[in-house]
Amino acid sequence: MESRCENCIVRQFNALRAMNKEELKQVSDSKTYKTIKKGESLFEEGEKLDGIYCVRNGVSKLSKLSANGKDQIVKLATKGEVIGQRSVIAEEHTNLSATAVNDMEVCFIPKETIANTMHKNPNFTLEVLRHMAHDLKEADDVIVNMSQKTVKQRVAEAFLYLKNNFGEDSDGFLLLTLSREDISNVVGTATESCIRIISEFKKKGYLKTSGKKIGVADEKGLQNLVNGF
Amino acid sequence: MESRCENCIVRQFNALRAMNKEELKQVSDSKTYKTIKKGESLFEEGEKLDGIYCVRNGVSKLSKLSANGKDQIVKLATKGEVIGQRSVIAEEHTNLSATAVNDMEVCFIPKETIANTMHKNPNFTLEVLRHMAHDLKEADDVIVNMSQKTVKQRVAEAFLYLKNNFGEDSDGFLLLTLSREDISNVVGTATESCIRIISEFKKKGYLKTSGKKIGVADEKGLQNLVNGF
DNA sequence: TTCAAAACCTGATAATTGTCATAGTTCTCC
DNA sequence: GGAGAACTATGACAATTATCAGGTTTTGAA
């Protein structure tokens, strides 16, 4: 399953696209390939990271344990995204835990390789900066949603997000299946409340289910709910 | 009130510390000095920015209007901090509005000057990146607090934050006086709920007031509350 | 100084959300 | 293929928080 970064499609989605051939070669030579099984963790909150992870396949949840014992999922990272860069750049311990939501394939790139390129290639650093600027905007938007929208609106928004970012199969069911608990932890609510709202949405025709799978049945309806109608 | 950036103390707190003499001269020559009165806005959400603001004095709230008509304050920026860099770096319209909470003095630096330095000086870009990494961490923490802590805990936390980041006078009253509405908008709650909790904290001896001024009277007590005791 | 507007405060009530208890369902793995 | 674990579901109730309505106090501008 190993391959050369130069030919990696995934790279097109992240800051590594700004690297030149020589730099990519260095990454290719120093990287290690890993598989992580569903439920296993890439790293835990507070750990010191020696490099960053580039996701080739699968999805990871980035979460933080709060004082009341609940995990808050802050972000879901999928194919093409890089995990751990914030901590490596700031030279701090990680602020979040990363856990595989399904089976994953990732490349681990040692921090020295990254630091090396950042000192030599301003374009790469700038590209990393742009990606982080984007992450920051998203985080700010999440803050506003968390504090100003009702749980019902946030659940609706979560399903629209899952549909638009992870897609659906030919029958209209979400490709990324999260447990009810994970959905609650994205939304920031009690699992029971989340389940109740999903049931309600099903009754109202906004969602459909088939076994464990959930699908968006009425995107407009959900969108109206999010917008407060 | 004009002065040379080379001698500006404020610069020590932000990414401009990584600039060399020549670059600072360029900033000094292109910057403009502005004063903004309490309540006036530096920019509104959705505007296109032609540069960044470096705060020399005063405090600005960065907020976003949500669908229900309430402002959510995402960050308070004070002396030494830079405002608008995210939007300039990402070359996007601003995501937040910036409004002066009290009278401000700021320097406006055209984006060309910044872009110019970023392309030439990797250390500067890296320093900007580090600051943004820090902002992102703080934003992630806010997300967790918003979704997992009660309003009471968040109010307690807000006062501890105000004390530790903006200081208090010799009588122990907060130097930064926010309206009850602004506090609610930081905490993400209804103004009435916020006022009620402030009253309660006063009765319990956690806070003290004198006219419009509020002071932290029992830091330990507030901290315990935040931690869930 | 005065008066209107804004800010602050409190009570009553309703709506939202969380918690606890319990039961059904699905999944896993021996 | 069956036992136990984990996940999903629902009801009853409690706690939290928002909303509305009415006051008082403070502020700022004429």
Cα gap A192→A198, rounded to integer Å: 10
Coil, strand or helix: which one is B57? strand
- Which of A89-93, B3-7, B190-194 has the least mean pLDDT? B3-7
Report CA dihedral (B158, B160, B163, B165) to the nearest 10 degrees: -70
Structural element, H or E, at residue A124: helix A122-148
Tokens, residue A84:
């751990």
Cα gap A23→A138, rounded to integer Å: 29
Radius of gyration of chain B (CA): 19
Task: Kindly report, residue by residue over A190-224, the tens digit of the pLDDT.
Answer: 999 999 999 999 999 999 988 778 999 999 999 99
pLDDT higher for B151 or A7? B151
- Looking at strand C, which nucleotides approach a protein CB closer than 7 A? 7-12, 16-21, 26-27
Coil, strand or helix: which one is A54? strand
Tell me which chain A residues have a C-beta less than 8 angstroms from the C-beta of B229. Answer: none
Cα gap A28→A11, rounded to integer Å: 12
Q: How long is the CA A40 to C1' C25 vector, in angstroms?
A: 25
- Nearby residues of A76 by Cβ (< 8 Å), 6 or more positions away: A59, A60, A61, A62, A101, A165, A176, A186
Tell me which chain A residues have a C-beta less than 8 angstroms from the C-beta of B129. Answer: 89, 125, 128-129, 132
Q: Where are the beta strands (DSSP E) in chain A?
A: 32-36, 41-43, 51-57, 60-65, 71-77, 82-83, 97-100, 104-110, 207-210, 213-216
Asked if B129 lies within 8 A of A125 by C-beta distance, the reply is: yes
Task: Kindly report, residue by residue over B168-184, the tens digit of the pLDDT.
Answer: 999 999 999 999 999 99
Say yes or no to pLDDT of A2 above 70. no
Q: What is the mean pLDDT of chain A?
A: 93
pLDDT band for position B2 (cuts 50, 70, 90) = low
| Chain A interface includes B133 (CB < 8 A) | yes
Q: Answer for the pair A111, A52: CB distance below 8 angstroms, yes or no.
A: yes
Tokens, residue B132:
């943004």
Tell me which chain A residues have a C-beta less than 8 angstroms from the C-beta of B146. Answer: 143, 146-147, 188
| Residue A54 backbone phi and psi in degrees, to 5 | -110, 120
Say yes or no to pLDDT of A111 above 80. yes
Q: Which residue of B has its CA nearest to A89?
A: B130
Tokens, residue B81:
């901090």
Average pLDDT (A150-177) is 95
Say yes or no to pLDDT of B13 above 80. no
Q: Is the CB of A48 under 7 A from strand D?
A: no
Task: Kindly report, residue by residue over A20-72, the tens digit of the pLDDT.
Answer: 999 999 999 999 999 999 999 999 999 999 999 999 999 999 999 988 889 99
Cα gap A143→B62, rounded to integer Å: 12
